[in-house]
Structure 1
Amino acid sequence: MLDSKSLKPTKNFRSQSRNYYKSKKYTNPFFQESKKRKRHFALGLNKANAATISGILVFCLLIWFLIYSKYFAISATEIKGEGRIDPAMIEKLVWEQINSSYFVLFPQKNIFIFNKNDLKSLLEERFAFNNLEIKKKIPNKLIIRFSEKEYAIIWQEGESYYYGDSQGYVITQLENTLEVNKKDYPLIQNQKTKKLSENSADIEERYISYVLELFKRFKASTEIPPLDFFIIDDDVNTVKIKLVDGPKLFFNINEDMDKQLNKVMIIKNEKLKEDFFKKEYIDVRIGDSIYIR
């Protein structure tokens, strides 16, 4: 039989029991899940921020590479054309624009930023082109092809002379009268009240066409007296010719050219003969009539 001493709890047992209960931990599942969510959300934000920053950096580097790197900086030009325009003059204007900038930050030297339309407008102000083409060749080259308008007439206003095309556009101004080539191009003296405007002569294309055809007829014929120059004034539908050491001839551009030339030849060979060159003018513009002074 056990005695009472053996049933009495010992101090050691109580101490161990106390320690056992203290070591236990109780957790709330709800709060535990909440903490996990916060950690996951913070981690997601950090990843998103990192991705955004990385994207911005990549974008900035790309912009720098496309705009400011030497790889896309224009370093070569290829200029070819037909006519009397010196390609070196065009190249000079091209490089002036290349070395300029838009608002400092955007250099025209960059192949993407370089403005072809600005260059085309500038060149067309300086030269008379029949055709002008500007191309960009990636990464760093400009290609320019052009053809100059062909000379058709010489336009005179006062003491100034200009080469013009068949539409009346001025191509270039002659430096001196020694350059006036009346053998190859008809000289048209402007006696109208209106003068040159924006590199264009005040003359309709149909007048120029008539002048060019008359010029061919006079050059091809040995019977027609040699001409000196043409006159355009305020008389409507009229082209006037000044003959060398002779009278002026008045032609109607709406009437048959051959008929009017025949009237001139009849007057010269059958009527006036030697007196033909003494007259001031011969007007063959109207029908079968001829007016002489």
Structure 2
Amino acid sequence: MKGIRFQSRMLYKRRRRFNFTPYLFIFLMVGICIAALLSGLWYFANLRYWQVSRISIMGNETIDKDSLNRTIEELLSGRFLFFVPRSQYFFLSASSLGGALKGRFPKIRNISVTKTFPDSLDVRLQEREIFIVYCFMAEHSSPVLSQPTPSAPPSLNGGQTSDCFYVDRDGVVFETPVTIAGSAFPMILDDETKDFSPGASIVSGEVLLFLERARVLLKDKLQVGLRSLTLSKDIPKDYLIETGGGYYLIVSRDQDQSGWLSSLKTLLETRLKDKVSEVDYIDLRFGSKIFYKLKGGAQKSG
């Protein structure tokens, strides 16, 4: 009997039970929960209730309101991460939208974008105001203004203005004028190569301050306007000023304006009193030693 029992144990081995674990079940449940969560997020993210659809724009004076609306709608189109609309209230970044609008419309100086739950957007902006007209002189055939012997000033007619832009008091270029003929704004002419784009600062505060002060002093002391200020690589230490009186002034960039203005006033009221209309240019770079030239005449000192 013992032999038979041993033999049966050898012939019929006990089968090992399968140890079932819940791993597969857990994996399936996690997958279902993730899918449900994503579906719920997609559903709530796409609800019309909190899609920004009401846009209020205030402060625009010359910028077309329809263009602003179209640009905002364009910026709010599309989706984040393939399923969240960019117009979704909670995902919309007001600061990013304001920066994008400022980049698209260089004439915007300041902008504030505010969201109002659940679907409103309030855009308030301040436009840049024209201060000067800036023109880049593509070509300039002027002689060099050398020291100590001054020569004729650069002829503005000898240069060709290839690009002109409106510039605000911050020195930021923001718009191309339709025409510069008879412009009511003073001009800055520059023959140095510039690499810039609309919305960038192109004129330094130092130059703008000089132009503004010179314009005020000329108007107050001599009752003459300032038409243009030339920055030329031929005269890196000096400015060339075109006045409303039809003559030019050559002044040093680091010279006190009240000093050369006093010398100019004295010259115009004495030696050139009856010849102002004949003056071509006046060189005020050498203190009390003033050089001037009458139209069609030779250079003289005063």
Same fold (TM over 0.5): yes
Establish whether residue 165 from structure 1 lines up as the match of residue 165 from structure 2: no
Establish whether residue 151 from structure 1 lines up as the match of residue 130 from structure 2: yes
Name structure 1 gaps, 5 residues minimum. Answer: 1-37
Alpha-carbon distance in structure 1 between the residues aligned to 2:245 and 2:121: 55
Conserved 8 A contact 2:110-2:125: yes
Alpha-carbon distance in structure 2 between the residues aligned to 1:104 and 1:61: 13
1:204-226 deviation line (CA, Å, top 9, x unaligned): 210111101112223334x3444
Who is 2:102 aligned against?
123
Who is 1:287 aligned against?
287
Conserved 8 A contact 2:42-2:84: no
- Within 5 Å, which residues of 2 pair with 1:57-206? 59-81=37-59, 83-102=61-80, 104-114=82-92, 116=94, 117=96, 120-157=99-136, 158=161, 160-177=163-180, 181-182=183-184, 185-188=185-188, 190-195=189-194, 197-199=196-198, 200=200, 202-206=202-206
Say if 1:49 and 1:159 are closer, same or farther in 2 by CA, change over 3 A.
closer
Task: Report the structure, 1 or 2, having the larger helix content.
Answer: 1
Say if 1:253 and 1:81 are closer, same or farther in 2 by CA, change over 3 A.
same
Q: TM-score, normalised by structure 2?
A: 0.69
Task: Report the structure, 1 or 2, having the larger strand content.
Answer: 2
Say if 1:145 and 1:201 are closer, same or farther in 2 by CA, change over 3 A.
closer
Say if 1:110 and 1:287 are closer, same or farther in 2 by CA, change over 3 A.
same
1:87-117 deviation line (CA, Å, top 9, x unaligned): 3321110011223334653432322344542
Alpha-carbon distance in structure 1 between the residues aligned to 2:242 and 2:27: 87
Say if 1:259 and 1:49 are closer, same or farther in 2 by CA, change over 3 A.
closer
Alpha-carbon distance in structure 1 between the residues aligned to 2:239 and 2:169: 16
Conserved 8 A contact 1:166-1:208: yes
Identity %: 17
**Structure 1 SS opposite 2:214:** helix
The letter of the residue matching 1:288 is S
Alpha-carbon distance in structure 1 between the residues aligned to 2:225 and 2:93: 52
Establish whether residue 259 from structure 1 lines up as the match of residue 249 from structure 2: no
The letter of the residue matching 2:231 is I
The letter of the residue matching 1:228 is R
Alpha-carbon distance in structure 1 between the residues aligned to 2:117 and 2:180: 47
Deviation for aligned residue 1:264: 0.9
Deviation for aligned residue 1:86: 3.0
**Structure 1 SS opposite 2:73:** helix
For the pair shown, the structure with the greater C-alpha radius of gyration is: 1
Q: Which is bigger in relative contact order (C-alpha 8 A, separation at least 6)?
A: 2
Deviation for aligned residue 1:231: 1.9
Aligned length: 249
Q: TM-score, normalised by structure 1?
A: 0.70
Conserved 8 A contact 1:94-1:119: no
Name structure 2 gaps, 5 residues minimum. Answer: 1-18, 137-160, 294-302
